[in-house]
Chains A and B, each alone.
Chain A
Amino acid sequence: MKFTQPPEGEYEKHIVPVKGVSSLNFDPYAAEVLTNPYPHYEELREAGPIVWLERYGVYVVSHYNTVRDVLTNPDVFCSSAGVGLSNFHTEKPWRQPSIILEADQPEHTGVRAVFARILSPRALKKLTTTFEAEAETMIDRMLENGECDGVVDLAHAFPIKVFGDAVGIMNEGREHLLPYGDMVFNAFGPVNGRFKECLANLGPATEWIYEACKRENLTDDGFGAAFYAAADAGEITHEGAGLLVRTTLSAGLDTTIFTMGNALVNLGRHPDQWAILRDEPKRARAALEEVLRYDSTFHSFYRTTTREIELEGVKLDKNQKVLVLVASANRDPRHWTEPDKFDVTRKATGNMGFGAGIHGCAGQMIARMEGEIVLRTLATKVETIELLGEPSLHFNNTVRGYTSMPMRITAKKH
């Protein structure tokens, strides 16, 4: 089996603790893997449902059923040790842990309930008209120009505007949100060159976020204000409210931006699939789901064992990090028919692009709403999407997306 060799060559080899388990020198964070991870994931799945990554001293799970089992057993595979490679139970985190992402039951439950209420489908319904109007304005402007950048003009511009407004953060300085998110998602991986470069270029982003999350800097009708109101009601602490605003901002922008970019690139590369959506714009939500499955934004994160546990016949020690490769689960032929085919008519629900179980993405409903509105508005107004050259891939340890996507679009004739 030919796995990607490490570019640096030397690394500390961790010996597999259990005999009979495949032990590989595979680096899921190597640039070559990130460029096109899917063939690598296929090799990994073929090597077994659970494999040891000797470079990092972790197990990796890549089959659909195994990934689902790990994610839906949070008492055994916990989040409080951090959802990155670094173990918060034994190492100091680079920032204060999130009280929702990096927490376990029972502390997690109350916070999650607050989040669920503030970002509930009912609460989101009120935002629909505003989001639709913004999508129409942006897409009309792109159509006037004809040649445009799908990322800059839409995938990036739309969430920065509508999600930023929905949270209620100040307008000035929103560009800092992206390097901050980039840092958060790089930090789920190893301290590699990519991580270090990102940290060095972070600039004032961390300070800006800290200021932006303060109550006095938020509008009084957004999600941010609602978190502080929950603190006033004694459901969470005021410090917790600020951390939830931070989590919402770091988790809710890069991800949505990348998801929309991934939607555009795949619709641009598959004109037949674009035609299906364009002819029936009501398919937008299902098409978005297929984008999340076929080209997941989140590729991997970690869980940590709380006790000895047998997984796929392998005995894992307590405090063992397990890399959960959701983007591989979403391409696993053991679960999906023709997984490498992008098919917007597919029933793609059950994909784990947003994770699964009680730690499944708490913002997934607003993310779906943003994506659905953008795709539906595109399908309603646009006749053709033509990619002009290769879009620019953004390299991050954990999330996948594009920074630039030159394209030409033409309007539907009514």
Chain B
Amino acid sequence: MPIITYLLADGTKMNIEAEAGANVMRTAIDADVPGILAECGGAAMCATCHVYVEEEKASIFSEISDVEEEMLECVTEERKPESRLSCQLTIPVGVDQVTVQLPVPQD
């Protein structure tokens, strides 16, 4: 069972056991990870499940689609090269561990 590590904006670390094929946003919601709102429930419409993916793991996920790219331009937090919408991230079979950093909220 893969572990998803969520590094929260305040520095707290949450290790959540997920299933292969699990969605990073869905896993966070089920585990009540603070900072992932996911208002649209995975429709890639709200940009409220923004995370930063560690650089060496970026390639395990599918590429950023046009829709996700549009939404990433709308994130209220800092947009970085590692930025992804966690609703678009599926843990591939064979991956044991992934770390995602949650962004610092901006007003």
List the interface of chain A (C-beta within 8 A of B). 72, 109-110, 112-113, 116-117, 119-122, 289, 349-352, 354-362, 364-365, 368
Contacts and interface: CB of A to CB of B under 8 A. Distances in A.
B44 interface: yes
Interface residues of B, number: 21
Given A350-B29, A365-B46, A113 B41 contact: no
13 contacts: A72-B42, A110-B66, A112-B66, A112-B67, A113-B69, A116-B45, A116-B71, A117-B70, A121-B74, A122-B73, A354-B43, A362-B45, A364-B46
Interface string B49-87: 000000000000000011101110110100000000000
Nearest to A108: B67
Given A109-B65, A113-B65, A361-B45, 16 more contacts: A113-B66, A116-B45, A116-B67, A120-B73, A121-B74, A349-B37, A349-B38, A349-B41, A350-B41, A351-B41, A356-B41, A359-B43, A360-B43, A362-B43, A365-B40, A365-B46
B39 interface: yes
Contacts of B76: 121
A364 B43 contact: yes
A109 B41 contact: no
Contacts of A121: 46-47, 74, 76
A113 B69 CA distance: 8
B41 A354 contact: yes
A297 to B, nearest CB: 15
Contacts of A112: 66-67
Given A349-B38, A356-B43, A365-B40, A122 B66 contact: no
A22 B90 CA distance: 34
A354 B39 CA distance: 11
A122 B44 CA distance: 14
Nearest to A355: B43
